[in-house]
Copies of this chain bind each other. A is one copy, B any other.
């Protein structure tokens, strides 16, 4: 299948499609129209059709989308079957919460091990995952394939750790540090996690509700 250059906006909607389709599948729903899918996601039917057309023909005129097929197709587009290998750096609160609760396997990832600087944490096994000394990271990277490093270190250590990872061949970082770790010369693929984005969306809707109440008074 030939894929056009897809806008980042479309890419970022695909995980939402995926979640909704999983939910439909769990409820035993076998097909869904672009109208229904749009309503469930707060998008128009035409937006849905446009998005999915970027990746080829999915739907059947007058039938809609086969839920399971569409879900599997989106999973492939998102690279979920590729078995990406991940490591995690920085076993603080956020790192520990990811190790404990985040189902990497659900999303096609293997979390192989983690690294920290704290002697009290090094050597621990958390949820089956070993914590290594950060000093052995270069040696580890020279002998193991790592597709993504999950960066959970403190702000102070963020840039240096990213540089160390890049120097040792890591190509992608899932960045929880709130620090811009990709320098202008860097080829690193960095995905920044900004909790604030979703809090601000919530603020917007709260504010709209408050305004509507004011208007209805």
Contact = CB atoms under 8 A, between A and B. Distances in A.
A90 to B, nearest CB: 11
A210 B98 contact: no
A93 to B, nearest CB: 3
B94 A203 contact: no
A87 B86 CA distance: 33
Contacts of A196: 15, 102, 106-107
Contacts of A82: 203, 206-207, 210
A84 B209 contact: no
Contact of A189 (B7, B8, B101, B209): B209
- What does DSSP make chain A's interface, helix, strand, loop or mixed? helix
A191 B195 contact: no
Interface stretch (A29-37, A64-72, A73-81, A114-122): A73-81
A39 interface: no
A9 B41 CA distance: 10
B80 A200 contact: yes
In the A-B complex, list the 5 residue pairs whose CB atoms are closest, starting with the nearest: A79-B207, A93-B97, A191-B202, A79-B203, A15-B197
30 contacts: A9-B9, A9-B43, A12-B201, A14-B201, A14-B204, A16-B197, A18-B200, A23-B180, A77-B207, A92-B97, A93-B93, A93-B96, A93-B101, A98-B195, A101-B178, A102-B195, A102-B196, A106-B196, A107-B199, A107-B200, A108-B203, A109-B203, A148-B202, A171-B206, A171-B209, A174-B199, A174-B202, A189-B202, A189-B206, A191-B199
